[in-house]
Structure 1
Amino acid sequence: MWWIFALLSAFFAALTAIFAKVGIKGVDTDLATAIRTVVILILAWGIAFFRGGAANINTLTKQNIIFLVFSGIATGLSWIFYFKALQIGKVSQVAPIDKLSVAIAIILSVIFLNEQISTLGIIGVLLIISGTILLIYS
């Protein structure tokens, strides 16, 4: 079941690139990021309240809060740089570089979370990096 959610995530991430490229035409990218963030804020809190997740807010630990804040900061910075890159670059080149985050996340998970990676996993990471390089220069 997790892979269905992952595929939906990839699909909506692809739509994000297309919609953003059209939406940021002639717009300050910081303003565009702020507008996008407000929409996501409303959507995320709406879903959290509707599905009952907001009721568990008092169960968050200090570590949960700290790392969710760090994740939010990283997400915000990612969006700011992504929108700027989309404004001046082609979606067909910016999106693959952005998705290089997959390979980077795998590498960081091995280093910091002690996750194991198989030989096929290593080959996959190298293929992602190679494919990204090919798409940049295509």
Structure 2
Amino acid sequence: MFEKTLVLIKPDGVKRKLIGKIITFYEDKNLIISSLKMIRANDKIVEQHYVEHKDKPFFSDLINYLTEGNIVAMVIEGENAINLVRKINGATDPLTADMGSIRGMFGIEKQRNLVHASDNIDNAEREIKLWFPKVENEK
């Protein structure tokens, strides 16, 4: 099934100059990057993005992490894009991530895990609208 998903290269990935290497993983699997921008996220957008974690003890640390530097936000499209991108990213913990995945190759710690990807179709639609409101309105 042809799908769209949101991917964020988090501040640690940007600071470590991994943007090009990370994008190559997706392009090598014939996925299409249909929208891309580098931004400095504010608290409001990150809080909306991670609303499901609002009442968890790590929520403020998560907000601080995502707002500490630039983020690369992308809409990625392709066959089974959601599951494929999540497989390419690897498990959240780099110690358990497949060594050929982004987190397996470049991850250092579980909390600062380089990338985010939507986990299902509903979240992909919500996250794309949040990070790329003009793209959604152009349909």
TM-score by length of 2: 0.23
- Whichever of the two has the greater Rg, that structure is 1
Of structures 1 and 2, the one scoring higher in RCO (CA 8 A, sep 6+) is 2
